[in-house]
């Protein structure tokens, strides 16, 4: 794996850009009327059009040459076999095993346990310590133990059990948990604590507060109503979770890649085991495609991210789903992509010479158009965008939303045609065009297709990391920041403040203490 931009494949890409720097999207389409068909691809049930990216057939071939040089497809196969691919932590990356039709024994056991719990809930046999039927679930987690499963819960609400109330809480803000618990009966509620290590400070603090909530609600034997999803079951046992309520998974499954794991227990209880399994099948469909095709669509999308960031210099990627249900998708992708790719050191410990990582952001379709699309169309910075749409939402045709999606992609690419009536336009109305976008269309937002979308972006992220020479499975910056916070917590609660702090940190600690004690 070569992390230097001096390799031949990188040199070819930079030279190719230099040779085509003045070739706009309008010129590219005018030169090739079939461009839209030639640069559109199917991947499972997804239709993906990259023709409005600043690429052509030669670009894609050079990018695939780079992928071969960096061993991306070999990495995919090693990852799927369970080889060590997370070098800094000497771990495998086993997330694809979670959705394999022939899963490892631990995964098979978990799925059976999850199915059994769902059946008990559905049949009214899941009861609290007082004998009352469970009718609400509160999911506690943060980061990878929350963002993916919550996104999928919101996306699949049309498939949810209307008789089950499912709430979500993350972080330390007291109002967050208060909102999740308000109006619920402690005797009819179960709490699912999701933490890979089961020592995540934010999650365990919130879990302790739910224990107090149970006690205040008259539930003294709350242990039977608390469940855990973790890779360290002994920590959950020590916390007071009963053994039969612990769903364990491998430590080789990273948080942001754990959506198919027991971390999604709350999601599964909402949409049902059959729909959850259908989502896993959608993920596996893309897993299979990546392994079978050395020029797969997820790899191509990852390579386009490399092209936009490292060659064209784009600093961000906007992701805009034209679906209210999928409005949390960009938040989920922020962690998946930015925590995986926001690194300047290679997986072998070398400084990386090329630009890596992009800010990932976005919002729900037409809301976004009335928010930040102005900057996309006329701002000084070119920001690539993914536009995601569905032919049917809630079993209804979706003409207006899809019309907006297609129109935005068209206008971003081509701007306004001033040649038709140039005198009627002021300089303020000029849209320059040549703004790159990828359009992803699907028939509907079903569990299976959501699974395909998730796996598409997972593999895209891994591919991008491998090309850049980055380990997409560690997050040392996050880990250090959390340790620093724990040290400062002690200082906020006590009178002693470390003399090693800078003047700003000392001032902030003093100001907080003044207002807290005022």
Instruction: Tally Cβ neighbours within 10 Å of residue 124.
Output: 11
Q: Is 482 assigned a catalytic role?
A: yes
Q: What is the 3-state secondary structure (H, E, C) of 124-152?
A: CCCECCCCCECCEEEEECCHHHCHHHHHH
**Residue in 494, 88, 135, 54 with CA at minimum distance from that of residue 311:** 54
| DSSP state for residue 398 in the 8-state scheme | -
What is the spatial distance between Cα 332 and Cα 143, in angstroms, rounded to a whole number? 9
Q: Is 339 assigned a catalytic role?
A: yes
CB 461 within 8 A of CB 447: no
The overall longest dimension of the chain from CA atoms, in Å, is: 78
CA 249 → CA 61, 80, 86, 101, 268, distances in Å? 39, 17, 17, 17, 16
What is the spatial distance between Cα 464 and Cα 75, in angstroms, rounded to a whole number? 12
What is the spatial distance between Cα 77 and Cα 24, in angstroms, rounded to a whole number? 37
What is the spatial distance between Cα 415 and Cα 441, in angstroms, rounded to a whole number? 22
What is the spatial distance between Cα 17 and Cα 66, in angstroms, rounded to a whole number? 14
Backbone angles phi, psi at 128, to 5 degrees: -85, -175
From 328, 339, 377, 459, active-site residue: 339
H-helix or E-strand containing 43?
A: strand 40-43
Name residue 140's beta-bridge partners: 169, 193
Name residue 397's beta-bridge partners: 392
Residues whose CB is less than 8 angstroms from the CB of residue 84 and which lie 6 or more positions away in sequence, other chains included? 90, 91, 92
CB 442 within 8 A of CB 47: yes
Residues whose CB is less than 8 angstroms from the CB of residue 370 and which lie 6 or more positions away in sequence, other chains included? none
Q: Could you give the dihedral angle defined by the CA atoms of residues 447, 438, 335 and 1, in that order, rounded to the nearest 10 degrees?
A: 110
In our burial notation (b when 16+ CB lie closer than 10 A, e otherwise), range 243-256 reads: eebbbbbbebbbbb
From 108, 120, 125, 482, active-site residue: 482
Report the Cα 318 to chain-centroid distance in Å: 13
From 370, 396, 420, 493, active-site residue: 370
Q: Looking at the annotation, which residues are catalytic? A: 339, 370, 482
């Amino acid at each position: 794996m070569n992390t230097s931009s001096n390799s031949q494949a990188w040199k070819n890409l930079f030279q190719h850009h230099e040779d085509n720097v003045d070739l706009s999207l309008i010129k590219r389409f005018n030169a090739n009327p079939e461009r839209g068909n030639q640069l559109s691809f199917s991947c499972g049930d997804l239709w993906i059009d990259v023709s409005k990216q600043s690429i052509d057939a030669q670009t894609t071939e050079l990018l695939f040459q780079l992928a071969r040089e960096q061993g991306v497809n070999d990495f995919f196969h090693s990852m799927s076999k369970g080889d060590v691919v997370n070098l800094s932590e000497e771990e495998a990356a086993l997330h694809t095993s979670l959705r394999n039709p022939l899963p490892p024994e631990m995964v098979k056991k978990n799925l059976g346990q999850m199915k059994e719990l769902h059946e008990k809930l559905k049949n009214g046999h899941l009861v609290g310590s007082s004998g009352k039927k469970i009718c609400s679930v509160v999911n506690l987690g943060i980061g990878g133990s929350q963002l993916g499963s919550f996104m999928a819960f919101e996306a699949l609400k049309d498939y949810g059990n209307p008789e089950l109330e499912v709430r979500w809480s993350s972080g330390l803000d007291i109002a967050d948990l208060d909102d999740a618990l308000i109006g619920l009966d402690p005797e009819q509620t179960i709490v699912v604590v999701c933490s890979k290590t089961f020592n995540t400070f934010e999650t365990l603090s919130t879990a302790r507060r739910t224990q107090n909530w149970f006690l205040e609600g008259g539930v003294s034997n709350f242990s039977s109503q608390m469940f855990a999803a973790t890779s360290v079951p002994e920590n959950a046992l020590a916390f007071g979770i009963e053994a039969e309520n612990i769903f364990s998974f491998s430590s080789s499954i990273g948080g942001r890649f754990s959506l198919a794991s027991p971390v999604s227990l709350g999601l599964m209880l909402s949409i049902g085991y059959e729909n959850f399994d259908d989502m896993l099948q959608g993920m596996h469909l893309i897993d299979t495609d990546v392994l079978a095709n050395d020029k797969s669509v997820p790899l191509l999308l990852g390579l386009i991210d490399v092209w936009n960031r490292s060659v064209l210099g784009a600093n961000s990627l906007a992701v805009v789903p034209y679906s209210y249900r999928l409005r949390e998708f960009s938040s989920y992708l922020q962690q998946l992509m930015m925590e995986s790719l926001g690194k300047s050191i290679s997986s072998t410990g070398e400084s990386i010479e090329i630009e890596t990582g992009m800010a990932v952001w976005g919002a729900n379709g037409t809301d976004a158009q009335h928010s930040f699309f102005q900057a996309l169309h006329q701002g000084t910075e070119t920001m690539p965008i993914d536009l995601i749409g569905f032919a049917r939402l809630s079993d209804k045709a979706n003409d207006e939303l899809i019309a907006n999606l297609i129109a935005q992609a068209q206008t971003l690419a081509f701007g306004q045609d001033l040649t038709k009536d140039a005198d009627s336009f002021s300089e303020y109305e000029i849209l320059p065009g040549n703004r790159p976008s990828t359009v992803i269309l699907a028939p509907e937002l079903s569990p299976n297709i959501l699974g395909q979308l998730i796996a598409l972006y997972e593999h895209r992220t891994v591919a991008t990391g491998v090309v850049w020479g980055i380990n997409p499975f560690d997050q040392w910056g996050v880990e250090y920041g959390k340790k620093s916070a724990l040290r400062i917590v002690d200082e906020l609660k006590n009178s002693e403040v470390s003399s090693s702090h800078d003047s700003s940190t000392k001032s902030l600690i003093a100001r907080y203490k003044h207002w807290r004690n005022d």
